[in-house]
Amino acid sequence: MKKVSRHPLLIGTTSLMLATGGLYACSDFLESAAAPQGTLDETTLLNRAGVEGSLIAAYRALDWTTGVGGAWGGAASNWVWGSVASDDAYKGSEASDQPAINDIEGYHWSTGDSEIYLNDKWRAVYEGIVRSNAAIRLLKQVVVSKPTEFAASDAKGIEGEALFLRAHYHFEAWRLWGNIPYYTEADTDFRKANGTSAEAVTNILKDLDAAIALLPTAPRNGNKGRATQWAAKAYKGRVQVYAGQYSAALATLREVRNGGPYRLEESYDRVWSGFQDYANGLETILAFQASANDQEPNGNNANYGERLNFPHSGSPFGCCGFHQPSQNLVNFFATDAAGLPLALTNANWNARNATLTSSVITPLDPRLDWTVGRDGVPFKDWGLHAPSWIRSSSYGGFYSAKKNVHEKSSGAQSSVGWVNTQLNSVNIHIFRYADMLLLLAEAEVEAGSLETARTIVNQIRARAAVRAQGIGADRASLAVPINDPSITWASYRIGQYASPFSGQAAARTAVRTERRLELAMEGQRFFDLKRWGVAEQTLNAYLNGVAGGAEKTRRLYLAAAEAFGSRHLLFPIPAIQIELSRVSGADRLTQNPGW
C-alpha cells in the first residue's frame, strides 16, 4: 500500500492551484490579447483564498523551488553556506558536478561560478520577502474592500505570520551579506540602496515585535508549521544573540524556555525523521514543511533543497553524494573516559586520518551515528553503509550525510520525481529548540551565569544519551539504548559536566563545542564561527593543521583554497544584483568591503 505524506500548508498550495486552474482553460485564451488570461494579479486574488494562498506561497519560499529557478544555493538548510563553507563538511560528490560549490568551499567567492550560487541565495530570500509583502498588502486591501471576509483574529494572524516570514528572510540575507536593503509592503521600487548591518537588525527585531503582538500562541487553524507568537519570541531571541545583544536575549529566551510550548524530543533520532508522528514535534520552532505524494507530479514539494545529499549509486538512493561530513567533524565526536568531548582535553584529537569504520572501536558521542554515515554502521534502517555508497572517496572522503535521509519504514519516500528515492517528507529544520537552548546558554555565559549554562548543556547531553543508532532492521531496533548488546560498531560514551566550569572562557568553550556536536551538518556552523569572531582562526587552522590533522592533506584539492580573511566575514553581493539596482547610471547597491 502506498503511504501518503502531506503537510497542511503545502496541501493549501495545491488547493489554491487547483482552484485557480480554471483560469487556464478558457476557450478563447488566444483570442483576447487585450485581456491576458491565466495570470493571477491582485485583483484576481482580492478574496480570502487569494490572501491565504499568497501567505502559503511565502512559506513555500523557505526552501529551493523550481518556481523561481536557481539551484541548491537556495536550500532551506543552508548546507552550502553554513556547512560546506565551514569545517563541518566537504562539497562531496566529484569535482565536475556542481563546480560552483568548489569555489565556495575554497573561499574563492569572487569567481563567476560562486556568483551563480550567491545569486541563487539572494533571489531565494528576496523572493520570500516579496511574497511576504504581497500577502500583507493584499490582506490590507481585502480588509478595506471586503470587511466581512476575515474575522479580526484571522486578519491579525495572517499579518503576523507574514511579518514573521519577512523577518526570517531578511535575517537569512543579513547572515550572509550584512549590509542589505530592507523591504516592506510599502516599497514599490525594488532598486533600494543597502542599509547598514545595524539597521537590518533593528528592522528585523521591529518586524518580530510586530508579529509577536499579532500572532496567536497556538498555530492558526490548528495547522502545525504556521508561525506563532512563541515562534516569533524564540526567533527574536535568536536575532538578539546573533547581534550580540546578550542582555536583551536573556529576557527573551528565558521567557520562551519557562513559558513556551517547546521541549527537547525524547531522543535524538526523533529530531530528523520521516515518521509522521515525529514531524512538527515539541522541538520544532521553524521548519520547511516538506511534503511527498501530495499530487504534485514531480515531487517538488518534498525536500528539494536537500535532495543531492544522499549516498550515491551503490546505495538504495541512487544519487548524488554531496554534503559529505569532513574528517575533522567525525574526529570531533570522539569522547574521553568520562564521556566528555575529547577535543577539550586532548591536543591531538584531530590526528585520525584513516576512515572511522565499524572495525575501529573507540569512545564516541552517539550523535555521530545519527549525523554521519560510515562504513559498517547501520544507516538508519537501510542496512550497513558501504564503500560503494560513496561517489568518489578520493575526492569527497568516506562519509555520507544522514540527518536529511528518511527511514525505510517511515513511508516518507516520494513515489514520483527525478530520482524519487532521494525525495522525502522529512521536515528541514531551520530553527529548533536545542539550537535555541544553546543560544540561551551562550547568553547565560556572557552574563556570568555559568551554572545555568552548565545545566542547559547537560540537559542536551542527557537527551543525546537516551538512544543510539541500532541495527535498524525495523522501527523497534532502529533506536536502542546506547549500551544495547546489538551494537558492535561503536563504544558510545557521553557524560555530563560534573564540576562547575572553571571560568567564563571554559564555559564559553563548552557551549560552543556542544553547538557543533548537536547541530552538525544542519547549516549553522559557519554563521556561528563568524559571529563568535573565530572564523578566520578556525577555518585557516582547519585547512592548514589543527590538533594533529589538516584538511589540505586529506582532500588534496583544498591545497588551492584561499586563505580565509576579514573580507570573508561577509559574502560578496552578487554583481548582477548591483547592476539591476542601477538608476540613471548609478548603482544603488554597493559591494561589501574587499570584494
For residue 351, what are the domain limits? 304-564
Q: Is the pLDDT of residue 28 over 50?
A: no
As given in the structure block, the three cell numbers for residue 87 are 569545517
The C-alpha atoms of residue 298 and residue 437 are separated, in whole angstroms, by 37
The C-alpha atoms of residue 228 and residue 249 are separated, in whole angstroms, by 19
The C-alpha atoms of residue 499 and residue 344 are separated, in whole angstroms, by 14
Mean pLDDT, the chain, rounded, equals 93
User: What element of type H or E holds 325?
Assistant: strand 322-325
CATH at residue 537:
1.25.40.390
CB neighbour list of residue 282: distance below 8 Å, 6 or more residues apart: 261, 262, 263, 264, 265, 433
Residue 429 has φ and ψ, to the nearest 5°, of: -70, 125
Q: Tell me if 327 is assigned to some domain.
A: yes
What are the pLDDT digits (tens) for 71-101?
799 999 999 999 999 999 999 999 999 999 9
DSSP alpha helices (H): ranges in 479-581? 504-519, 525-532, 535-544, 551-554, 575-580
Q: Is the pLDDT of residue 492 over 70?
A: yes
Quote the Cα angle for 583-586-591, to 5°. Answer: 110
Q: Is the pLDDT of residue 524 over 90?
A: yes
Altogether, the residues listed in the chain come to a count of 595
Indicate the residue type of 222: G
Can you give the pTM of this predicted structure? Answer: 0.94
Residue 156, number of CB atoms within 10 A of its CB:
17
Q: Tell me if 190 is assigned to some domain.
A: no
Residue 545, judged by CB atoms within 10 A of its CB (0-12, 13-18, 19+), counts as middle
Beta bridge partners of residue 284, listed in sequence order:
432
Q: Is the pLDDT of residue 208 over 60?
A: yes
Instruction: Specify the pLDDT at position 46.
Output: 93
Q: Is the pLDDT of residue 447 over 60?
A: yes
The C-alpha atoms of residue 214 and residue 178 are separated, in whole angstroms, by 28
Q: Tell me if 159 is assigned to some domain.
A: no
Instruction: Specify the pLDDT at position 13.
Output: 40
Instruction: Residue 477: name the closest of 565, 407, 545, 551 by CA.
Output: 407
The C-alpha atoms of residue 589 and residue 581 are separated, in whole angstroms, by 6
Q: Tell me if 514 is assigned to some domain.
A: yes
Work out the average pLDDT over 296-300. Answer: 92
The C-alpha atoms of residue 442 and residue 400 are separated, in whole angstroms, by 30
Q: Tell me if 595 is assigned to some domain.
A: no
pLDDT bucket at 7, cuts 50 / 70 / 90:
low
What are the pLDDT digits (tens) for 416-427?
999 999 999 999
Q: Tell me if 439 is assigned to some domain.
A: yes
CB neighbour list of residue 537: distance below 8 Å, 6 or more residues apart: none
The C-alpha atoms of residue 30 and residue 575 are separated, in whole angstroms, by 39
In angstroms, the Cα distances linking 354 to 328, 398, 543, 554 are 11, 9, 17, 10
Q: Tell me if 173 is assigned to some domain.
A: no
Instruction: Specify the pLDDT at position 11.
Output: 37
Residue 462 near residue 269, CB atoms below 8 Å? no
Instruction: Specify the pLDDT at position 19.
Output: 33
The C-alpha atoms of residue 342 and residue 350 are separated, in whole angstroms, by 9
The C-alpha atoms of residue 346 and residue 556 are separated, in whole angstroms, by 26
Q: How many domains does the chain have?
A: 1
Peptide bond into 320 cis (omega under 30): yes
Residue bearing the bigger pLDDT, 326 or 65:
326
The C-alpha atoms of residue 362 and residue 228 are separated, in whole angstroms, by 44
Q: Tell me if 50 is assigned to some domain.
A: no
Residue 498, number of CB atoms within 10 A of its CB:
9
Q: Is the pLDDT of residue 137 over 50?
A: yes
